[in-house]
Amino acid sequence: METNLIVEGFKFMGLGMGTVFLFLIVMIGAMNLMSSIIHKFFPEPQASADAPVTTQQDNKKIIAAITAAISHHRQG
């Protein structure tokens, strides 16, 4: 009985890679299903017309606050 180890190796490699591929396909499908369920029951809020708009001045204040916090932290 002659066994070709190269052919057997390729068979096991194909079986292993096929198993991993199928697992990944099932996992992606499950994640998409969970995502659609979450979006169905917990939709993202829509931006309304009277919602506050972040201006350039607000961004500068946020950057200044973050910079001050980092410099305070580095000083000890």
pLDDT of 64: 93
Positions in the chain whose pLDDT score sits under 50:
none
Residue 15 region by backbone torsions, left for phi larger than 0, else alpha for psi between -120 and 50, else beta? alpha
Angle at 28 between CA 25 and CA 29, to 5 degrees: 85
- Identify which of 37, 16, 18 has the alpha carbon closest to the alpha carbon of residue 26: 18
pLDDT of 45: 80
**Which DSSP string do the residues of 26-44 spell out, in sequence order?**
HHHHHHHHHHHHHHHHSPP
3-class DSSP assignment, residue 68: helix
Cα–Cα distance, 18 to 24 (Å, whole number)? 10
